[in-house]
Structure 1
Amino acid sequence: MTSSYRSIAILLIVTGTFVASNIYTLIPIYDLLTDELTTTTSMIALGSTSFTLCYAIGLLLFGTMSDVVGRKPILVLGMLLFSITSLCVSFADSDFSMIVTRGLQGFAGGSFAPVAFAYTFDLYNGKFRALILSMINTGFLVAGILGQIISASIATNHGWEYVFYFYFVIYLLLFLLSAKFLPQNKSKTNTSFKPLQSIKLFSSFLQSKNLLLCYIITFSLLLTPISFYDALNQYLLPISSAEDLFFIRTVALLGTILSIFGGAINAKYGLKGSFYIGIALLIGSLIPMILIPDFYVILYSAIFLVSSISILIPTIIAIIGTIEQKSRGSAIALYSFTLLIGASFGSLLTSILPFQGVLLFLLLYGIINIFLMRKISYSR
């Protein structure tokens, strides 16, 4: 492994972290934007919704296109588009323009995740590939905190527009670095992009028993931390402070350290073995919180919950990439779409169930995932 390929890996990890950070940009500045744009919090929240929905559409479209035109063109041009649309958001002067520009920004942001995962498969092998997949996903988890810190600190000191000026510069820099340093790869599997053909391709993935089971498991992976933190907010806020909640989120990020050892775990125990270790950590984190929902029990258990997600997400990506090698970009695009759709159900779940009810649901889903994984087969 040359130093240049290690540098490429670092570039992908850093890019992934900053791309995902933008998902959480509006959360800490809802009140500020409500005052500045003279609108309601619910209308500003639609800016986050439009970002997420268009992001999901971008995941499917760009992941499939990368199988046609190659990974690098999508990553590079997608980052340029993300930079430009980030600047556009800074000019929003009404709730409507905020919703529209955030939607455009989300669509552009969808060009990274599935393409970067497929690109990692194309460039790397073995333990180092597993490590890079784990680290990119760790960046996504860290982004949940980092994105809010960046947004809150810049908006408080300079104004909300400067948040998007900041991202415009960052994404422009990442565009230039990607254009210069990312190598071309021979990953094209199709000769032309046809939407109807893409729909048939996605349908064929769902008709594959192994991939379908992977996608059912995938649905729960981001649903788990999103619904956990949402339910935790509702449970602790009446009896605790916002600072305590932020402290739990921050300390829980210690769980991402386990992702560094993802390659070694995969090498020793295999992909299925790694999956079962992740599920064991998940179950081991949920049961104590169900039985004793105390602040410190939740604090320590949250670390193991994040650890489990740090192992499970890159493991499922690796399994999907191993099962579907011909149209890997498209298969991982559908994975990313399913992951995001699962996350969107987090708020719905917490609106129906209390804190311990959510934990019990996640526990049952985790146990079901064990049986689903036992039915999945693939060539090693």
Structure 2
Amino acid sequence: MVIGLVFLTAATIACAFVSTVPMLAGLRGVQGVMASSFAPVALAYLAEATPLKRRATAIGAMSTAFLAAGIAGQVLATALSLTLGWQWVFILSGIGLGLCMIGIAVLVTEPGSRREDANLVRRFAAVGRVAARPSVLLLSVAHLTLLLSFVGMYTGLGPHLADLGLDASQVIWLRLVGLPGMFASLFAGALAKRLGGAGVARTGFALAAVGLLLEATLSAFLIGAALASLVFVTGVALAVPAMITLFGETAAPNRAGGMALNGFVLFLGASIGPLTAQLGLSFPILLVGLAALMVIAVASLTGFARLTRTAASEVTA
């Protein structure tokens, strides 16, 4: 995490001082590679280093941070661009990353767990075996849609609000409406004790689908669309930590590999999300399409739950 943040900090600050688009594109590519060193490793760290009774809360807190960043990052970038200029988005982000890097270097300690095989080829092979399990494939199908729909919706929201006559400052406030719903991630662990991890995940995806359909129906009305987006974000916030936990449990005993795979799939979806808003669809049609992805995710999780129950009954027999 520290090494990745060192290079990410340098690449981020360097973006502010480039003079050509190809140079900026190259540095953005470096940012992507270096940023990928954090999320999967951080989730794997929580799975290994956090006591079992606190693990759900820790993963919920990390999920809240991921989702809040999805909105707060857009809002902060827009505000800085309008007031100070786009270069300051990279300068201040780089400074923030540098401070986080120092904090991790000083405060985070390695867990006193068993030593694992350090051979990279065998480690990647182990992750590949985890990824090939039918149950993990079903989880991955559902997980891919999660941040894809989240980022896709918010990417399409800006142009839609502009079409409704809102200026940039008003768009910022509309984006912030969903922020309270993100704290639902903190309660996913408690709900899992009643519904099970797959049950919480399916509830979250179903709630997100309802929110998207409501937003599509009310997209011409600002208050209605804002409240519907809150429903959608709450569903996503419930699903994210539940899905992370399911990946770790399903990949056991290679829990860290499962977490790494989870991070890859989750943020692959986040990378595809902005592309969905460039398909030329109207905002309501885009939302209906994203809601259909949520329904596919529910179906995948239903298959996962049945497969898991079957495997557990065979072991018991």
TM, length-normalised to structure 1: 0.71
Q: Deviations over 1:315-354 (max 9, x none)?
A: 1110000111243333333322222332333344331532
Residue 173 of structure 1 aligns with which residue?
A: 99
Counterpart pick for 1:207 among 125, 132, 138:
132
Q: Distance between the aligned counterparts of 1:126 and 1:334, measured in 2?
A: 21
Residue 315 of structure 2 aligns with which residue?
A: none
Residue 193 of structure 1 aligns with which residue?
A: 120
Are residues 178 and 199 of structure 1, via their aligned partners in 2, closer, same or farther at CA, if it must alter by over 3 Å?
closer
Q: Distance between the aligned counterparts of 1:206 and 1:288, measured in 2?
A: 35
Q: Deviations over 1:57-79 (max 9, x none)?
A: xxxxxxxxxxxxxxxxxx22222
Q: Distance between the aligned counterparts of 1:173 and 1:269, measured in 2?
A: 39
Q: Deviations over 1:229-248 (max 9, x none)?
A: 23333433222313443222
**Shift of the alpha carbon at 1:84?**
2.6
Are residues 198 and 358 of structure 1, via their aligned partners in 2, closer, same or farther at CA, if it must alter by over 3 Å?
farther
Counterpart pick for 2:222 among 295, 306, 319:
295
Matched, 1:82 2:15: no
**Shift of the alpha carbon at 1:154?**
4.8
Q: Deviations over 1:184-221 (max 9, x none)?
A: 12365322223xx5664454234201100010001110
Matched, 1:319 2:223: no
Are residues 240 and 117 of structure 1, via their aligned partners in 2, closer, same or farther at CA, if it must alter by over 3 Å?
same
Q: How does 1:78-117 map to 2 (within 5 A)?
A: 78-117=4-43
Residue 250 of structure 1 aligns with which residue?
A: 176
Name the amino acid aligned to 1:356.
Answer: P
SS in 1 for 2:196: helix
Moved more, 238-247 or 206-215: 238-247
Q: Indicate if the aligned counterparts of 1:255 and 1:306 stay in contact, CA closer than 8 A.
A: yes
Structure 2: segments with no counterpart, 5+ residues: 313-317
Q: Distance between the aligned counterparts of 1:345 and 1:178, measured in 2?
A: 29
Matched, 1:360 2:285: no
Q: Distance between the aligned counterparts of 1:187 and 1:113, measured in 2?
A: 22
Matched, 1:371 2:296: no
Name the amino acid aligned to 1:214.
Answer: L
Q: Deviations over 1:268-298 (max 9, x none)?
A: 3221221132123213313323444332221
Name the amino acid aligned to 1:345.
Answer: I
Are residues 274 and 154 of structure 1, via their aligned partners in 2, closer, same or farther at CA, if it must alter by over 3 Å?
same
Q: Indicate if the aligned counterparts of 1:127 and 1:264 stay in contact, CA closer than 8 A.
A: no
Residue 276 of structure 2 aligns with which residue?
A: 349
Q: Distance between the aligned counterparts of 1:201 and 1:159, measured in 2?
A: 46
Q: Deviations over 1:334-375 (max 9, x none)?
A: 322222332333344331532222222223222232222122
Q: Indicate if the aligned counterparts of 1:321 and 1:328 stay in contact, CA closer than 8 A.
A: yes
Q: Distance between the aligned counterparts of 1:232 and 1:147, measured in 2?
A: 15
Counterpart pick for 2:259 among 323, 332, 340:
332
Q: How does 1:32-47 map to 2 (within 5 A)?
A: none
Q: Distance between the aligned counterparts of 1:297 and 1:176, measured in 2?
A: 43
**Shift of the alpha carbon at 1:97?**
1.9
**Shift of the alpha carbon at 1:91?**
3.3
Count of residues paired in the alignment: 303
Q: Distance between the aligned counterparts of 2:158 and 2:77, measured in 1?
A: 20
Residue 143 of structure 2 aligns with which residue?
A: 218
Q: Indicate if the aligned counterparts of 1:189 and 1:326 stay in contact, CA closer than 8 A.
A: no
Q: Distance between the aligned counterparts of 1:109 and 1:187, measured in 2?
A: 27
Are residues 98 and 271 of structure 1, via their aligned partners in 2, closer, same or farther at CA, if it must alter by over 3 Å?
same
Q: Indicate if the aligned counterparts of 1:282 and 1:366 stay in contact, CA closer than 8 A.
A: yes
Matched, 1:261 2:187: yes
Aligned alpha-carbon RMSD (Å)? 2.6
Q: Indicate if the aligned counterparts of 2:12 and 2:93 stay in contact, CA closer than 8 A.
A: yes
**Shift of the alpha carbon at 1:80?**
2.1
Name the amino acid aligned to 2:22.
Answer: F
Q: Distance between the aligned counterparts of 1:355 and 1:162, measured in 2?
A: 31
Q: Distance between the aligned counterparts of 1:161 and 1:230, measured in 2?
A: 21
**Shift of the alpha carbon at 1:157?**
5.5
Q: Distance between the aligned counterparts of 2:160 and 2:12, measured in 1?
A: 35
Are residues 348 and 163 of structure 1, via their aligned partners in 2, closer, same or farther at CA, if it must alter by over 3 Å?
closer
SS in 1 for 2:155: helix
